[in-house]
């Protein structure tokens, strides 16, 4: 299935496809932008080659449908964003490809502009929240958290940033460059040392792959441990996330289906030939839920919302998506 969908894409976009599927590039926001680039590439190729508009639209739905079914299962934001980017484009099927291309790209770009503004607002609230902090802990990779780390320069002070390695996906490493370029002092630790170091921090921040209206936040495995430690030491834990990442399925009885990864190659990279890898189970969940009681608040484009008060905002936002 992967190869069939991959082959639909213009050649120059197949590397982006592989980067998402193989997790070489992380972060739901990054993946959404990359899927948007794929939509644009399919449309541009269709216009240049004078392909039938209906064919171009079906190519878009094949690619976006793949990511809704795979990446979207882990992050509802991916599904929400894709649905907004392709909203109503089937109604363009009978139009000339040139005219249809303009309308399809207008729809896609409209989402991109609103999404960028939402993230910008999240970051602004997060930076304000961190004004009185000196030591900040971040866990896992999130492009929104990276922008937050860069934005801390606005507070005109030097921060000490504690970065955990997040071994499941090496999620701490991408933050290092942002922190170095922003002039922060960096403390890079193994995730096993989180309890030892978190007690010295003023606050903890992470992104969200998705969150429920009841205030449960989903992020890479290990995030639940961060929540437990923060609660134990009374360190405020904030999820920096635009509202596009809300998953309202539990309201109607549904649940998120956890995605599991086989970490065999990653965890045994340094093992010798004397050990039999094939007899060992390396399957691990990719995401876990952090309970509302462990989360001080969600930093969104609507402000810093306590986890116990996120329900109304979430449902109102979900209704706005359906009306889009």
Question: Is the distance from CB of 244 to CB of 77 less than 8 angstroms?
Answer: yes
Which pTM does this prediction carry? Answer: 0.80
Question: Is the distance from CB of 248 to CB of 318 less than 8 angstroms?
Answer: yes
Total tally of structural domains belonging to the chain: 2
Give Cα separations from 86 to 62, 65, 91, 289 (angstroms).
Answer: 12, 11, 11, 29
Pairing of strands 160-164, 135-139: parallel
Question: Domain boundary residue among 119, 145, 160?
Answer: 119
Structure tokens at 147: 């922008």
Task: Verify that 151 and 263 share a domain, yes or no.
Answer: yes
* Distance of alpha carbon 266 from alpha carbon 118, whole angstroms: 35
Enclosing domain of residue 23: 2-119
Pairing of strands 203-207, 237-240: parallel
Task: Verify that 164 and 197 share a domain, yes or no.
Answer: yes
Longest dimension (CA), the chain: 63
Question: Domain boundary residue among 63, 94, 119?
Answer: 119
Counting Cβ atoms within 10 Å, is residue 33 exposed (0-12), middle (13-18) or buried (19+)?
A: middle
CB atoms within 10 A of CB 190: 11
Q: 157, 163, 126, 133: which is closest to 239 by C-alpha?
A: 126
125 occurs within a structural domain: no
Task: Verify that 220 and 319 share a domain, yes or no.
Answer: yes
Task: Verify that 104 and 234 share a domain, yes or no.
Answer: no
Task: Verify that 85 and 208 share a domain, yes or no.
Answer: no
Question: Domain boundary residue among 119, 149, 168?
Answer: 119
Task: Verify that 84 and 145 share a domain, yes or no.
Answer: no
17 occurs within a structural domain: yes
Task: Verify that 142 and 289 share a domain, yes or no.
Answer: yes
Task: Verify that 114 and 158 share a domain, yes or no.
Answer: no
Beta bridge partners of 182: none
Give Cα separations from 295 to 191, 267, 273 (angstroms).
Answer: 19, 30, 44
124 occurs within a structural domain: no
Task: Verify that 261 and 186 share a domain, yes or no.
Answer: yes
93 occurs within a structural domain: yes
Pairing of strands 160-164, 185-189: parallel
pLDDT the model gives residue 1 = 56
46 occurs within a structural domain: yes
186 occurs within a structural domain: yes
* Distance of alpha carbon 270 from alpha carbon 276, whole angstroms: 13
Q: 25, 231, 230, 39: which is closest to 146 by C-alpha?
A: 25
Question: Is the distance from CB of 30 to CB of 146 less than 8 angstroms?
Answer: no
201 occurs within a structural domain: yes
Task: Verify that 210 and 110 share a domain, yes or no.
Answer: no
Query: What's the chain's length in residues?
Result: 324
pLDDT the model gives residue 175 = 92
Per-residue pLDDT of the chain (324 residues; tens, 9 = 90+): 577 899 999 999 999 999 998 888 877 778 999 999 999 999 999 999 999 999 999 999 999 999 998 887 767 788 889 988 998 899 999 999 999 999 999 999 998 888 889 999 999 999 999 999 999 999 988 889 999 999 999 999 999 999 998 777 777 888 999 999 999 999 999 999 999 999 999 999 999 988 999 999 999 899 999 999 999 999 999 999 999 889 988 998 877 777 788 989 888 988 998 999 999 999 998 889 999 999 999 999 999 999 999 999 999 988 887 665
227 occurs within a structural domain: yes
Task: Verify that 232 and 271 share a domain, yes or no.
Answer: yes
pLDDT the model gives residue 286 = 84
CATH of the domain at 233: 3.40.50.10470
Task: Verify that 137 and 99 share a domain, yes or no.
Answer: no
Question: Is the distance from CB of 119 to CB of 147 less than 8 angstroms?
Answer: yes
């Amino acid at each position: 299935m992967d190869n069939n969908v991959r082959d639909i894409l213009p050649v120059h976009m197949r590397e982006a496809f592989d980067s998402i599927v193989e997790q070489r590039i992380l972060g739901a926001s990054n993946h959404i932008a990359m899927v948007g680039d794929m939509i644009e590439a399919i449309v541009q190729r269709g216009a240049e080659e004078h392909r039938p508009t209906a064919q171009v639209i079906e190519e878009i739905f094949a690619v976006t449908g793949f990511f809704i079914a795979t990446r979207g299962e882990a992050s509802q934001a991916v599904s929400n964003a894709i649905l907004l980017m392709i909203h109503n484009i089937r109604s363009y099927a009978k139009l000339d490809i040139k005219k249809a291309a303009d309308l399809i790209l207008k729809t896609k770009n409209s989402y991109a502009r609103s999404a960028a503004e939402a993230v910008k607002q999240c970051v602004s609230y997060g930076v304000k929240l961190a004004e009185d902090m000196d030591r900040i802990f971040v866990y896992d990779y999130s492009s929104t958290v990276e922008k937050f780390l860069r934005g801390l320069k606005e507070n005109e002070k030097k921060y000490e940033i504690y970065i955990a390695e997040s071994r499941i996906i090496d999620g701490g490493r991408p933050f290092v460059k942002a922190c170095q370029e922003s002039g922060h002092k960096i403390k890079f630790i193994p995730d096993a040392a989180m309890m030892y170091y978190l007690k010295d921090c003023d606050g903890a921040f992470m992104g969200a792959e998705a969150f429920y209206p009841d205030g449960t936040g989903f992020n890479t495995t290990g995030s639940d441990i961060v929540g437990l430690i923060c609660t134990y030491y009374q360190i405020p834990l904030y999820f920096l996330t635009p509202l596009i990442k809300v998953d309202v399925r539990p309201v109607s009885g549904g649940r998120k289906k956890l995605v599991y990864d086989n970490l065999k190659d990653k965890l045994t990279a340094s093992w010798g030939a004397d050990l039999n890898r094939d007899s060992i189970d390396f399957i691990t969940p990719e995401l876990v839920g952090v309970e509302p009681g462990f989360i001080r608040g969600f930093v969104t484009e609507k402000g810093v919302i306590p986890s116990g008060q996120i329900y109304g905002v979430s449902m109102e936002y979900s209704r706005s998506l359906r009306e889009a």
